[in-house]
Chains A and B, each alone.
Chain A
Amino acid sequence: MDPESCQYSKEHEWFYLEDDTCVMGITEFAQDELGEVVFVELPEVGTEVEAGNEIGTIESVKAVSEVFTAISGVVVEVNELLKDMPEKINEDPLGEGWLAKIKLSAPSELDQLMDAKQYAEFTAHG
């Protein structure tokens, strides 16, 4: 995913729109803070989620971190690769380390999120 084309949440998730579906994951900043990821828990395909919901957890050696969705919709796919290779989140958080795809029910929610420039400022001062 091109980081410039993603939208970002304050919880350090990225969202990338492809037609009516959004791919999401955690940011480079978030994976660096978390350290080596060892377990990932993701929602089941078909789950209806609402903006602000916790949809999973990422565990590193150091800590556990909840994953939130900033958009509402239905989970249409999760990244099964992460079950055996959770380290992909560290290696390539915006690519192979993606978490879930959500079919949007309220596309306008994306407008509430930060763009790449705003997110860079947010992490610099946050």
Chain B
Amino acid sequence: MSDETNARTPLHAAHLRAGGRMVPFAGWEMPVQYSGVMDEHRAVRSAAGLFDVSHMGEVRVTGPGAEAFLQSLTPNDVAKLAPQRVHYTALLTEQGTYIDDLLIYRESDDVFLLVVNAANVESDFAWIARHAPRDVTVENVSAEFALLALQGPMAQSILQGLTATELAPIRYYGFRRGEVSGRPAIVSRTGYTGEDGFELYVAPDDAEALWNALLAAGGDRGLVPAGLGARDTLRLEAAMALYGHELDRETTPWDARLDWTVKLDCGDFIGREALVAAKAAGARKKLVGFEVRGRGIAREGCAAFGPDGAIGRVTSGTFSPTLERALGMAYLAPEWSEIGREFEIDVRGRRLPAEVVKLPFYRRPS
């Protein structure tokens, strides 16, 4: 059932050996699950999971003008980003809507690494390169990296056994260059699951040895390989946006409740003018969390209704393995976005009752 036109990560053989069920995703052949989405999800919440996210793209931006360039390209404050720190930001159109969401890693004053969604690598790279001034070099370095995500409460203790880099001092959204299992790696305290954890950027040739070393080191502490299925249910419980679902070219950071990623007081950036105007005009739609009050799952694309007609659309929906109920996120008309509002969702011609609830659905115990 594999599709020959899709790219394979350096861990392809390891996935097959682990019983991974491979599916096409954003031009890649990726494991959607191994033992099962629920099991893998619960392992990440209670112990740890290991994900292959090598499909993500990396773009290196370097040069004396790199900081000023990224400041003019993205809405978050790059000047405030210290070396060895990461922040979450966006590429926006002139209309202030999402071309992509991304992480920016600052390695030094003049060296940045941008991590972008797999489906958007080529178009992001073209957009960034097109806007770059002469004193900035932009390179698509996606082929230089495999990316492993070790996520869950046991992540630090498992990883610490394999690296001399002291992990405890690395704060959330901090990173170091070091070695893991004798192989050079960027060790980043980031993730997409709502748990503590690390993302490890390594050379493709080192990926499989590292994958095996991590599973061997973590097996007795409950570490299991986890697929894209669990990645999606985990990020959804944590209310983290996914490009193509919550974020797209019709959506601004205001709509998506990502106001904190936009700094209007640190110079001009692409989309700023439109965002200022949009703020003054008031919200057009609001991203909300909802729980289904009936039996069934309201998935992406389902229409939402009030008594007088359509009020919005579901962007992501699933059955939550942690809360054991159907939930999701939706864009609703602003007057419907209050916590506790009851509405209906059309699921294959049947109306399911739903209620707006507070996000995130899940927050890890601190």
By a beta-carbon cutoff of 8 Å, the part of chain A in contact with chain B is 35-36, 38-39, 41, 57, 59, 61-62, 64
Contact = CB atoms under 8 A, between A and B. Distances in A.
Given A35-B33, A35-B36, A36-B38, A61 B318 contact: yes
Interface residues of B, number: 16
Contact of A62 (B37, B295, B326, B348): B37
7 contacts: A35-B33, A36-B38, A39-B295, A39-B319, A61-B233, A64-B297, A64-B348
A57 B321 CA distance: 20
Given A35-B33, A35-B37, A36-B36, A61 B296 contact: no
Nearest to B292: A39
Interface string B287-302: 0000000011101000
Given A59-B319, A62-B229, A39 B37 contact: no
A39, A41, A57, A61 interface centre (most CB from chain B within 10 Å): A61
SS class of chain B's interface: helix, strand, loop or mixed?
Answer: mixed
B32 interface: yes
Interface of B: 32-33, 36-38, 229, 233, 295-297, 299, 318-319, 321, 326, 348
Contacts of B321: 61
A61 B348 contact: no
A36 B297 contact: no
Contacts of B37: 35-36, 61-62
B296 A41 contact: yes
A89 B16 CA distance: 26
B235 to A, nearest CB: 14
A59 B229 CA distance: 15
Contacts of A64: 297, 299, 348
Nearest to A59: B297
B338 to A, nearest CB: 28
Contacts of B233: 61
